[in-house]
Each structure stands twice: as C-alpha cells, then as structure tokens.
Amino acid sequence: MALGLWSFLQLFLLCEVAASLSFFHHRYDDLVRALYNVQNQCPYITRVYSIGRSVQGRHLYVIEFSDNPGIHELLEPEFKYVGNMHGNEVLGRELLIQLAEFLCEEYRNNNERVTRLIQTTRIHILPSMNPDGYEVAADQGPEGNGYLTGRYNYRQVDLNRNFPDLNTVMYYNEKYGGPNHHLPLPDNWMAQVEPETQAMIQWLKNYNFVLSANLHGGAVVANYPYDKSKEIRMRGFTRSTYSSTPDDALFKELAKTYSYAHGWMHTGYNCDDFFYEGITNGASWYSLYKGMQDFNYLHTNCFEITLELSCDKFPREEELEQEWNGNREALLTYIDKVHQGIKGMITDENGNGIANAVISISEIAHDVTSGIGGDYFRLLLPGTYEVTASAEGYYFKTVSATVGPADATLVHFQLKQQKATIESRFLNQNNKNYIRKVVPRAANKRRSS
Amino acid sequence: MSLEMFSVLLTDKACGFHSDLTLKMVSNIPWSVLTFAWWLTVHSWFAWSCPDSCDCFRRVKIFCTSSAIKEVPSNISVTVTELVFLETHIGTIGNTTFMGKDRLKKLVFISNQIKSIDVGALHWFPKLTDLEITANPLSEIHPGTFDNLPELLKLTVTFNYIEELPCELLQKTQNLQILILQGNNISALCSEMFSSIKNLVELSLDSNGIMHLPVDLFKPLQKLRVLKLSNNKLSKLPPGIFDCLKELSELYLNGNGLTTIPGHTFEKLTSLKKLMLMSNSIKMLSDGIFSALVNLTILRLDWNRLEYLPFGIFNETTSLHILSINGNRLQAIPEGIFSRLHHVKKLDLCSNLLEKLQNSTFQGLHSLTHLHLDNNNLTFIENNVFKDLNDLKMLTLHHNNLTTILDGTFDPLFNVASLVLHSNPWLCDCSFMYLLKWIKENSDFTQVSEMQCEKPQHLKEKALSLLRKQDLSCPTNTRIHVPDIPSTNDQRVMKNAPLSPCYLTTNGDLHLTCKVNVCKSMRIHVSLQRESNTTTFVRDFGNFQPHCTDVIFNITIN
C-alpha cells in the first residue's frame, strides 16, 4: 500500500516535471537572456539595469517592475529581492528569475493582483549578487556540490560577512545613547569591502528601499535581525542568543508572512531541523558578523529579512518547479507587506517636500527618514501610534495615527520653519549637508535592572 | 639549466600536475621540438587578448556589452565557445565576420542595432547549438541563413521586425528542439515551414500578426510539447490543426480574436496539461470540446464572452487543478457541472453575471482551496452551497448584491483563512445574526473593515465592525399570524410573512412591513404589553373578493 502510494507520488512528480521546459539552472548568460527576454515581453513595466560588477567583471543585473520604470513616484514604496549572495546557494536565483517571468506573464494576462502590485509598488529584483561564485558552483553542478564550493566571491570572501559592522556601534548607542538609525559608515569603507558589496551599498544609497528579502539556501527558515549577537564574545566564541531589534514584533510578523505563505516552511520541521513557525531570530540561531541584513536596518530605511529556502543549496533541476510552487505565493505576499504601516509627505509651508526629515514612533527606538522628494514610509503593525516628524530648521510635529491590516495609512506632515537664527542664516537651504545634518533621536537607553 | 629541470618547470606551469609522468615522457623528445612546444604555449598565452569593451571568462566565454562597440571585434579568439553581444551598436554581420570561429557553441545578440545578416554570416559554426537574435531592427532573414548549423538545438529570433520567413529557412536545422519567434511581425507561414524539424519540442509564435494557420503546419511536429500562439490575429482555427500533436502538453491561444472553437479541435490532445484561451471573444463552447483532455490540469477561459456553460463540458477533465472563467457573461452555473472535478484547487468565477448559487453548484469540489465569486450579481446563496468545501482557504464574495447569509452557510468552512465580503448591500436585521456572529468569531481573517449595512434605514452605512448584536432588531416579540400564504420562492416569507421584519428605530418608532396574499378580509391585531397592562388595537380591512391579491401593509407605532 505504502509502496503503491509512493510510486504514485513519484509518477505524479515526473509528470509535473515533464510538462515544464522553463525550469533549469541559468548560467550567467542564461540569466542575462532571461531578464532581457522579460524586458522585451513587458517593455512598459520593466527595466533592466546593472548596479555594478563582480570581481571578474560580470554585471550585477537588476530587473525593475513598476508602472513607471526608472522613476520613483512619490508615496510609491520601493521593494527589493536579492538572490544568490552565496554563489552556491542557487535556489533564490532561480526563484527570482521565475518571479520576474511570472510577474510579466500575469500582467499580460490581466491578473488583477499582479497588476495592482505593479501599479502601487516599485519592485527591484537582483537574482544574483555573486555571479562569479555561481559559475564555480555551477561548474560542479548539483551532484556532489561541496558545502562551500562557490560560496565566496572570486577573491574568496564571504559577501555576507563583508559589510561594515554597524552593530557594535548600535549596541553601544543602545547602552550609552546615540543615533538609532542611519549609522554612518567608516571613511575608508570602500577600501574595506568587495566590489559586489560596494555595488550593493551604493544601490542602497541610490534608492530609498522600504522592504527587502535576501534569498539563501541550506535550511528552510525565515531569519530576521539582528544576526549579530549582543552578548560579548567569550574567549573568541560568541554565544547564540536572541538579539532583538526595536522592531522585533514587526520583523517576526514579516518573517511569519513568508513562512505561512510558503508551502511547508511554517511547519517548522525541515532539513532535520526545527524552527517554531518556520522563523528565527538571526543571532538566536547562530551569530553572524558584518552581514547584509543588519546593515540594511542600521544604515538605511530598509527592513530586510534573510530567507533560507532549500535544504540542498544546489537543488537538482527537477526540483525547481516544485520549489517555485512552494514559494510563489510567499514571494508575492511578502511584497504586499511593503504597504503595511504609515506613509506620507513631509512638506514645508509652501508644500515643498523636505528630504531627510526624521520620522519617529514613540515606543520604537528606530527612526526612518524621508526620501529626496519628501515622502516617507514606516512599516508598522496594526495599532495606534504617536508619530513625530522633525527636520533641522523646522518645528517638530507629533500626531496620532492608526494602522489597519491592509494598505498604509496616509499621515502627512507640514512643518513650520523655525525663526532664522544667526547660525542657520549662513546655511544654504539647498546645501545637501544642511539637509542631511539632522540630529537623530537618541536611541532608548537600555534600562539596567 | 638541465633538460630535466626545464621540463619540470614547463609542465608545472602548463598543467600543474603529473609532472613525474610528463618528465619521463618528455625526456626522450628532442630539444628543438620541446622549445617549439614551449614557444607555442607561451606565445598563445600572451597573444590572447580580450577585445576592448568586452569581458572574457576563461578565454572561452566573451561578453561584449558596450555601445562603443560598432562592429564585431576582429580579435576574437578562435578558442571562443560562447559569445554574447548585449546593447552594442553593431549594425551588420558580414559573411566573413566570424570566419574561423568553428568552436562556437552559443551566439547571442540582444538589443543591438543589427539591420542585416549576410546569407553566409552564420555558416562558420559546425558546433553551434544555441543562437539568439533578439530586439534588433532586423526586418529580413535570407533563405539559407541557417543552412550550415547542423548541431543547432535552440533558435531564438524574437522582438525584431521580421515580417516574413522564407519557406525553406529551417530545412537544414534538423536537430532543432526549441524555436522561439515571439514578437516579430510575421503575418503568415508557409505550410511546409516546419517540415524538417521533426524533433521540435517547443515552438513559440507568440505576439506576431498571424491571421491564418495552414492546416498542415504542425503535422510534422509529433514531439512538440509546448505551443505558444498567443497574441496573434487568429479569428478561427482550421479543423484538425492540432491533430498530430500527440505529445503536446501546453497550448497557449490567449489574445486572439477567436469567436468559436470547432468541437473537435482538441480531440487528439490527450497529453495536454495546460490550455490557455484567455482574452478571446468566445461566446459558446460545445459540450464535448474538452472531452479528450483527461490529463488537463490548468484551464483558463478568462475574459471571453461565454454566456453559459454546457452541462457536460467538464465531465472528462477530471485532472483539473485550476479552472478559471473570470470575466465572462455567465448568468448561471448548471447544477452539478463541477461534480467530477475532485482535484480542482482553484476555481475563479469573478466578474460574471451570476445571480444565485444553489446547493448543488459546487458539489464534488472536495479539494477546492480558492473560490472566487466577487464582482457578480449574486443576490442569493443557498445555505448548503459550501458543504463539500471543507478545505477552502479563501472565499471572495465582495461586490455582489447579497443582503444576507442564511444560517449555517459558512459552517462547513473549517479551514478558511481569508473571507472577503465587503461591498454588498447587507440588510442588518434579525436575519443577519448568523453572519454577524460568524464574523465576530472569525475576525482575524474576515476583512470586516470595509463592510457596512445598507438597510434598514437607521443603520445605513453603519460599519459592521461597530455593529452589536442588540442593534439587530428581531421580529421575535411580534407575533404575526397570517392564515393562508400561497407558495412563494422566498422561504423567509413563508415562515414569517414580514417582508421586512420589525425593527425599532433609535427615536422609538416601531415599523412593521408585511406582504401577504389576502383572499377575503384581513384583521390586524396589535397588542402592546407593558408590565401587566395590555393595550389592544384591532382593525379590520374590507372585502377583497372576488380575487385574492397581494397586500402590503405598514404599521408604525410611536
């Protein structure tokens, strides 16, 4: 009986696989061709651009979906997916190519949900952040792929250990006071990081991303910040302890959004491991230092989680379709989450947008800032919050806002200019330094109990 | 330097292993030969250079992605196996451009400025398996262009301006498995176009201007698995056009002007798993049109003009997983039409003109997880309609004309995780108690925020989330005896007689509206009981003979 059922299942799987020709491992040129193919099929809603090059000179191509590609529309949030940061963790790369093809095809098929998503969101998809490492891994293929073959970039650097460490600064600030967001980079950061990392950081600076996920493999779990443990190292060994961000509840919800919309992640039992509800705090799993996820949160407005999507880092081609079916809904639902919370315009008395204004939420010691046009986005769980907007040279303003389960609540701020002081009279309004020089709210000091 | 020492050095540099073995082998070779070999190795290493503005990988893969490139670089190594030109300004490919590049396996041109390709330009590649020419202003392909590509497996010529394909273009590419011709301006194809490519597995003619298909066009393609014909101008399909495609698994016919489909069109496609017929103008489908499609898992008929579905249309398609008939003009669903579709997980009937759902409508859909019924004209749902849908996770009923949900209707939905009910003219009276209770108990997944009452007047536009049980006035304290009500369709009228039951307004008025069929005379008896005092009011109404008539009466007490 059991045998019969098993062979039936296998037959079923084979049939499913036999039906599809579009699921295969895309080498660099296949990836480029796939992205350009989508761009040609959906020219009015897509754009392909490169954010930089790998060590060996491969482009880091991004495909963008928007009703106005190439343009940031005010109040339309920016979302990103990043895949294949570790060259040998390839499922994310393939899923993101499938996602791009799916969004285009369903848009052409008048799919209401996809159309609405593209009209209200600007989605950036980077299928491979480490194209050099991928080629090394792909040369070996799925069979007998070593655990680490192709993981690193061409210079043997782990890109997810290559970002400037801002956690140390943040944990210090939490104890002794200091900025709680947009922590500055060291002056020589460019010299410290790999070309792929540099391209990523530059990308993060150029776009005001709101939400992101970084697709990995080797486990099946949605991992949220912080990745780096707050515990002090003992004899060179960092213990795994839950290290929460001020947005812990929100991050948990974001992670759960993915795990529950995923075919089997939420069950928790995967790859001989167990994660309750299919999610985990990064540091409570294992502490990780100089990772990209924490960097997003500490240096930008972007909230990023890390998705571990397959037990096998390099799954066989026949498994790709099933993986896509398990992830498709989750990939879409997670993008929808970019619309949760509050958003609005920060303007001066003449209605001009104020860039880099600081938006603070009482009780949450992590501020966000407004973009170049003066629009801001603050992801929040449903509830009522006190929201404060402040900008250098303006009187701050506090309002109460209620967040529902669906679309973002609009909360606009019109700030009144402070009377000119001797100091500020010398400053040019258009000077970038002037606008950037916003004194951030102090991080909540951790209470010593 | 001794000979032995040198040869060790040489082999170490060239291969980096087996130096002992090589040492033995080379020690017998004369000095001059060895020098020559060394010179060759070193010379070819230094002579090899990557063309300007191109990226080279392991000396065999070359990517040229710069608008500074105006023509194919002349110093491309003969060792190259993969060559990609992306967003360059190359305008023509001449007969000798690729002379000597006989190791090439993959050649790709995307978004260049190529206007012409000479007939012999691609005749240098005995090993080429993959050729792509995409998004170039290329309007013509000469006969014979692909004649010398014996190993070609995949040919992609997409998003150019090609209007016509020479009939004999593919005569010599006999190993071709994938042919993608999407996004050109091809309006017609010769009948023998595909006669030599019998191994073809995938064919895309998507987004061209094809108006007619020759009857024998697909006859040779007995191994074809995927056929994409969407977004052309096919107003009809010739009878028997797909009859030889025994292996066909996916067929795309979206966005053509199809008005009808001959009944036997799909009768030989027993392997078909995916059939896409969206965005056509199909008005009706014959009863047995899908009867051969026993393996069909996905059927999409969205955005057509279907007014009804023949009763037996889904009798044989028992493997279906997804059935989508969104955006048609269906007014009713024949009873039991889905009863054999035990595997369907998603059923989409949005944006039709459906008026009611009967208990038998969704009978048999045991695996259903997603049911979309929004944007119809639904006024009435029988209370056992969802009884088989125990696995349902999502149900959408928004933008209909529903006034109430009968007791027990949602009880079988144990697993529902999302229920959308807003934009209906809800009647918030006593009959609404069941839905209100259900919503309150399941508020975590019912999108209640946008739901509001339409009637009665004093609750109009009241948000359901603020509605309390005590707001729903009920006729239970008002006894209404109506002696003889002739049969009527609405069971609620049968039981209770009131057209709209009593409700108490906020300013203390009591309204009662009833509709009854009266034959002789009518007496209205109202008694008001306050503590121990009872006030009675009786009023007789006159002679209704000789005919029985419907009478509507309103009582207002204030």
E strand intervals along B351-401: 356-357, 370-372, 380-381, 394-396
CA distances from A374 to A371, A389, B363 (A): 5, 11, 55
pLDDT value of position B512 = 60
CA distances from A270 to A165, A263, A275, B117 (A): 31, 12, 8, 54
Nearest to B132 among A18, A33, A110 (CB): A33
Looking at per-residue pLDDT, the higher value among B30 and A125 belongs to: A125
Question: Is the pLDDT at B274 greater than 60, yes or no?
Answer: yes
Question: Is the pLDDT at B428 greater than 90, yes or no?
Answer: no
Location of structure tokens 């305008």: B91
Nearest to B84 among A29, A56, A109 (CB): A29
Are A349 and A374 a contacting pair, CB within 8 Å?
Answer: no
Q: What is the mean pLDDT of residues B17-41?
A: 49
A298-311 residue pLDDT tens? 999 999 999 999 99
pLDDT value of position B71 = 92
Question: Is the pLDDT at B34 greater than 90, yes or no?
Answer: no
Question: Is the pLDDT at B547 greater than 70, yes or no?
Answer: no
Question: Is the pLDDT at A431 greater than 70, yes or no?
Answer: no
| DSSP conformation class of B313 | T
Residue B220 to residue B228: CA distance in whole angstroms: 16
Q: Closest residue of A to B295, CA-based?
A: A15
* Residue length of chain A: 449
Do B52-233 and B330-472 show the same overall fold?
A: yes
pLDDT value of position B488 = 40
Q: What is the mean pLDDT of residues A98-116?
A: 92
Class of domain B52-233: alpha beta
Q: Show Cβ contacts of residue B479 under 8 Å, excluding neighbours closer than 6 positions.
A: none
Are A193 and A164 a contacting pair, CB within 8 Å?
Answer: yes
Residue B124 to residue B121: CA distance in whole angstroms: 7
Class of domain B330-472: alpha beta
Residue B239 to residue B77: CA distance in whole angstroms: 52
Q: What is the mean pLDDT of residues A399-420?
A: 89
Residue B454 to residue B443: CA distance in whole angstroms: 20
Nearest to A21 among B134, B226, B327 (CB): B226
B352-366 residue pLDDT tens? 999 989 898 999 999
pLDDT value of position A27 = 94
pLDDT value of position B427 = 85
Q: Closest residue of B to A16, CA-based?
A: B273
CA distances from B468 to A371, B436, B440, B461 (A): 44, 8, 10, 14
B515-539 residue pLDDT tens? 666 656 666 767 776 677 777 777 7
**Backbone φ, ψ for residue B498 (5° rounding):** -60, 140
- Which of A139-148, A197-206, B537-546 has the lowest average pLDDT? B537-546
Among candidate residues B123, B116, B161, B160, the one with its CA nearest the CA of residue B142: B116
Among B110, B133, B155, most A C-beta atoms within 10 A, so best to mutate, is B110
Residue B249 to residue A277: CA distance in whole angstroms: 37
Token pair belonging to B325: 């008939």
Question: Is the pLDDT at B483 greater than 60, yes or no?
Answer: no
Give the distance, in angstroms, between the CA of residue A255 and the centroid of all CA atoms in the same chain. 12
Q: Locate the domains of chain B by residue range.
A: 3-47, 52-233, 330-472, 475-557
Q: Closest residue of A to B107, CA-based?
A: A29
CB contact under 8 A, B57 and A19: no
For chain B, the average pLDDT equals: 82
Are A130 and A153 a contacting pair, CB within 8 Å?
Answer: yes
Interface of chain B toward chain A, CB-CB under 8 angstroms: 55, 57, 61, 63, 65, 82, 84, 86, 106, 108, 110-111, 132, 134-135, 158-159, 178, 182-183, 201-202, 207, 225-226, 249-250, 254, 273-274, 278-279, 295, 300, 302-303, 327, 447, 449
B292-307 residue pLDDT tens? 999 999 999 999 999 9
Residue B465 to residue B85: CA distance in whole angstroms: 60
Residue B466 to residue B431: CA distance in whole angstroms: 18
Nearest to A110 among B111, B183, B303 (CB): B303
Which chain B residues have a beta carbon less than 8 Å from that of A406? 447, 449
A326-362 residue pLDDT tens? 999 999 999 999 999 999 999 999 999 999 999 999 9
**Residues 381-410 in A contacting B (C-alpha not used; CB under 8 Å):** 404-406
Residue A88 to residue A152: CA distance in whole angstroms: 8
Q: What is the mean pLDDT of residues A296-325?
A: 94
Residue A407 to residue B156: CA distance in whole angstroms: 42
Token pair belonging to B510: 């009591």
CB contact under 8 A, B134 and A19: no
Residue A409 to residue A376: CA distance in whole angstroms: 12
pLDDT value of position B518 = 63
Q: Show Cβ contacts of residue A170 under 8 Å, excluding neighbours closer than 6 positions.
A: A180, A183, A298, A443
β-pairing, B130-134 vs A46-53, is: unpaired
Pairs of CB atoms within 8 A across A/B: 67
Nearest to A40 among B61, B106, B183 (CB): B183
Residue A199 to residue A4: CA distance in whole angstroms: 53
| DSSP letters spanning B414-441 | TT--EEE--SS-EE-SGGGHHHHHHHHH
Mapped onto helix, strand or coil, the DSSP state of residue B502 is strand
Give percent of chain B above pLDDT 90: 57
ipTM: 0.83
Which chain B residues have a beta carbon less than 8 Å from that of A405? 447, 449
C-alpha torsion sign, points A174, A179, A184, A187: negative
Q: What is the mean pLDDT of residues A233-250?
A: 78
- Cβ neighbourhood burial of A360 (10 Å; 0-12, 13-18, 19+): buried
Distance from the B3 Cα atom to the nearest Cα atom in chain A, whole angstroms = 37
| Domains delineated in chain A | 21-339 (3.40.630.10), 342-436 (2.60.40.1120)
Q: Which of A308, A317, A323, A392 is catalytic?
A: A308
Whether residue A19 lies within 8 A of chain B, CB to CB, comes out as: yes
CB contact under 8 A, A110 and B106: no
Q: What is the mean pLDDT of residues A60-80?
A: 96
